[in-house]
Every structure is written in structure tokens, then in C-alpha cells.
Amino acid sequence: GEDVEQSLFLSVREGDSSVINCTYTDSSSTYLYWYKQEPGAGLQLLTYIFSNMDMKQDQRLTVLLNKKDKHLSLRIADTQTGDSAIYFCAESLSYSGGGADGLTFGKGTHLIIQP
């Protein structure tokens, strides 16, 4: 079955880079996503990567995909206090920006920013 694993907490100093890691089990996953959830808010799609890509960069965000090891990471450069949130990794067989069909979420990583 499908399973997505993430560490529950990550603590970084403001200004440092944050690297949030995720492993998944479904080798047929085609799209992998990163969502952000701030306290008391819904989920926000940050970025996604197609499985035939190794890397995707978008401003301060860099996504790395190691398909062989089924490992996905999200790097946030120059981490700010506003980046404090829960970050969810998710996988699916087809593009689903809606996070619906076939999307499996991890439990989320709490990113804690130290001043």
C-alpha cells in the first residue's frame, strides 16, 4: 500500500536553510507535492515535481527527488519566521493540484524557527 513518511519536527535558526525530508513507498507515483499549513489555516500548495525530474527550484524553494531511493526533500533557503508551519509531503499517480484523487499525505513536519 501507499505510505508517506516524514519526521515530525525540524528546528532551524532564522536565516539558515531548512531541509524537510520525505520518503514514499509507491514506486508508480507520478507527482510529488509539498503543502504548507499555517496554524488555523487550510493547506496551501507550495510546489510539486513530476517524477521524471530530479530538481525543481522556485525562488527560495528547492525540491529534490531521488526516485531510486523514493526520497523527496524540500529546501527553504534563508528561513524566515513566516516559514513556521507544518509541511506536508504528498504523492499521487496523476496531477491533482486539488489534492484529491489518489493523493496520499504524510503526517507533516512541524518547522520551528529559532530567532
Partner 1 sequence: EAGVVQSPRYKIIEKKQPVAFWCNPISGHNTLYWYLQNLGQGPELLIRYENEEAVDDSQLPKDRFSAERLKGVDSTLKIQPAELGDSAVYLCASSLDGETEAFFGQGTRLTVV
Neighbours of 62 (CB within 10 A): 17
Q: Which stretch binds partner 1 (CB under 8 A): 21-29, 35-43, 59-67, 76-84?
A: 35-43
Q: Does 105 bind partner 1 (CB under 8 A)?
A: yes
Distance CA(78)–CA(102), nearest Å, equals 33
Number of H helices, E strands in the chain: 0, 11
Q: Which residues pair with 92 in a beta bridge?
A: 31
Q: Does 41 bind partner 1 (CB under 8 A)?
A: yes
Q: Does 43 bind partner 1 (CB under 8 A)?
A: yes
Report the nearest approach of partner 1 to the CB of residue 74 (Å).
15
One of 76, 106, 111, 113 touching partner 1 (CB under 8 A): 106
65 to 94: interface string for partner 1, x by CB under 8 A: -----------------------x-x----
DSSP per-residue letters across 23-65: EE--TT--EEEEEEE-TT--EEEEEEEETT-SEEEETTEEEEE
Q: Contact residues for partner 1 (CB under 8 A)? A: 4, 8, 40-45, 88, 90, 95-101, 103-108
